[in-house]
Amino acid sequence: MDLAELGERIYRTAHLTGEFVLRSGVTTDHYFDKYSFEGDPVLLDAIAEAMAPLVPADTEVLAGLEMGGIPVVTALSRHTGLPCAFVRKKAKPYGTRRLAEGADIVGRRVLVVEDVVTSGGQIILSTNELRGLGADIHEALCVIDREQGGAESLAAADITLHSLLTASALTPQV
Binding residues: 23, 88-89, 92, 114-122, 146
- Feature table: binding site for orotate: 118, 146
Q: What are phi and psi of 72, to 5 degrees?
A: -65, -45
CA distances from 139 to 9, 49, 61, 70 (A): 27, 19, 12, 17
Q: How, if at all, do strands 136-145 and 109-117 pair?
A: parallel
Q: Do 79 and 88 touch, CB atoms closer than 8 A?
A: no
Where residue 7 falls (left for φ over 0; alpha for ψ -120 to 50; beta otherwise) is: alpha
- Feature table: binding site for 5-phospho-alpha-D-ribose 1-diphosphate: 23, 88-89, 92, 114-122
Alpha-carbon span 137 to 119, nearest angstrom: 18
